[in-house]
Structure 1
Amino acid sequence: MTTAYLTVDDAPSATLPEKLAVLDDYGVTALFLCEGRRLADHADHARQAVEAGHLLGNHAYDHNHASDIAVEEFADEVDRTEAAIDEVYADAGVERPTKVFRFPFGDKGGDRAAKFQTVLAERGFRPPNAELIDYDFWAEQAGDRDWFWTVDVEDYNVDTKAGLAENVAEADRLDGDSNDILLFHDGGNAPEQFEHYLHLLDERGVTFGDPLELADD
């Protein structure tokens, strides 16, 4: 069955503590991709995530489409968010184990994608180990430093448990024998919807791994 690595975008939200309790109930470790602007409002919630053993990653400051902003602006967004994440780890008294990044909307920057990758490389961001993920996308993007995903249930397009269940049911990769990076969201999802997602995956027989296992050495 699928071994899933849960990644959670648009963190931290005001309801993150309740979601951390849900993760604890299910025994799941998550990678939270943090927006700098959200860290400015909810740094304490991010600290709770670190203290609970979860991993924080960089999701830029203002959640802009990379293809809509200049390289210099992108670098500034990354650096401001990095400073906030480092402060969270310092406040938690936990050594930051690795640096990971995900582009908002999965937008790698269009015609300037190579320049954005240079920004990430210069700052030491580590991609997931492509050898552990059987997904054509990794081969196509070999050398990129950002984290993409293999399963997106489009939780941002549904607001009911029934709608989420329908989307999860259509995720065929969850029935295979594979390692998969799951995309879900903190901002925009109530704790009840977050819990329902984990419940649906549990019913599906999905097992979870620690996203840090995927960090490329």
Structure 2
Amino acid sequence: MSKAYLTIDDGPTKNTKSITDFLIKKNIQSIMFFTGIQTIKNRKEAIYAIQKNCIVGNHSFTHPHFSELDLDECISEIELQEEQLNLLYKEAGIQRRYRIFRFPYGDKGGKNKDALQKYLKNSGFNKFNDNKITFPWYYESGLNKDIDLYWTFDFFEYKLEYNNGFTFEDIIKEINEMNPKEGAPLLAPDVYNIVLIHDHEKCEKSLQNYFYDIINYVLDQGVEFIKPEFIKPRSWLYI
């Protein structure tokens, strides 16, 4: 059986509450990566997700390409959203246990990559416990050493909102691909994946219930979503 950790980018949106309720019914604990702009727009939905046991991580304040910013701008993007997340947890009445970060677009900062990894480590961000990920390319790329949380499988469902011929059938094809051009196979036996899906209102307008239909399909194929684990800050080495 395939196992996976569910991560959800770009929230919160007006859909976040219903997504949260759906995940509760399916007994899935997700990591939701929120941006600052969306947090300000949809504060009630953000607080609801926290109160319902979703783990909320930092996805920057404005969702930029970090390789297009200087180091100080990158750090500002992270710290501005840290302020928002601390306020959210306080307003939700929930103790914040983890500080997790994901770069928008998976863009780790270009020439500032090493400096940003050291910043995340020294600032006490939690590293996701990825020791069950066994794909060789994950280690060859050094993703196991990075403090930020990357992914191994992307549904690419965000393409639905572009109306460029990408369909739900294309998503299903990607799910069933055993030798994908990008990432790792989701349905291969005895593998662990870090799965990426997005909370986008434009996707919902393009294809109603896309989020629920994708997750239900994956569950029907035997994928088990499991609870994420994290390493305590400063208990790892970044080389």
Question: TM class by shorter-chain length?
Answer: over 0.9
Q: Which amino acid aligns with 1:174?
A: L
2:215 is equivalent to residue 198 of structure 1: yes
Whether the aligned pair in 2 keeps the contact of 1:26 and 1:198 (CA below 8 Å) is no
Deviations 1:71-103 (A, max 9, x none): 101111101101111111111111111111000
Deviations 1:129-156 (A, max 9, x none): 2322213324532431100111112112
Q: Which amino acid aligns with 1:7?
A: T
Q: Which amino acid aligns with 1:16?
A: T
Q: Residue 118 of structure 1: CA displacement?
A: 2.1
2:17 is equivalent to residue 17 of structure 1: yes
Cα root mean square deviation, aligned:
1.7
Q: Which has the larger radius of gyration?
A: 2
Q: Name the one with the larger helix percent.
A: 1
Whether the aligned pair in 1 keeps the contact of 2:133 and 2:193 (CA below 8 Å) is yes
Q: Which runs of 5+ in 1 are unaligned?
A: none
2:193 is equivalent to residue 183 of structure 1: no
Q: Distance in 2 between matches of 1:5 and 1:192?
A: 21
Structure 2 residue aligned with 1:112: 112
Whether the aligned pair in 2 keeps the contact of 1:161 and 1:196 (CA below 8 Å) is no
Q: Which runs of 5+ in 2 are unaligned?
A: 162-166, 179-184, 233-239
Q: Distance in 2 between matches of 1:120 and 1:54?
A: 22
Q: Distance in 1 between matches of 2:139 and 2:111?
A: 19
Structure 1 residue aligned with 2:146: 144
Q: Distance in 1 between matches of 2:213 and 2:49?
A: 20
SS of structure 2 residue aligned to 1:131? coil
Structure 2 residue aligned with 1:173: 186
Q: Alignment length, in residue pairs?
A: 215
SS of structure 1 residue aligned to 2:62? coil
Structure 1 residue aligned with 2:231: 216
Moved over 4 A (4+): none
Give the TM-score normalised by structure 2.
0.84
Q: Distance in 1 between matches of 2:47 and 2:121?
A: 26
Whether the aligned pair in 2 keeps the contact of 1:158 and 1:164 (CA below 8 Å) is no
After TM superposition, list the pairs within 5 Å mapping 1:1-217 onto structure 2.
1-136=1-136, 137-138=138-139, 140-141=141-142, 142-158=144-160, 160-170=167-177, 172-187=185-200, 188-190=202-204, 192-211=209-228, 213=229, 215-217=230-232
Q: Distance in 2 between matches of 1:19 and 1:100?
A: 20
Q: Which moved more, 1:166-175 or 1:62-71?
A: 166-175
Percent identical pairs in the alignment equals 28
**Is the alpha carbon distance of 1:55 and 1:138 closer, same or farther for their aligned partners in structure 2, counting shifts above 3 Å?**
farther
Q: Residue 46 of structure 1: CA displacement?
A: 1.1
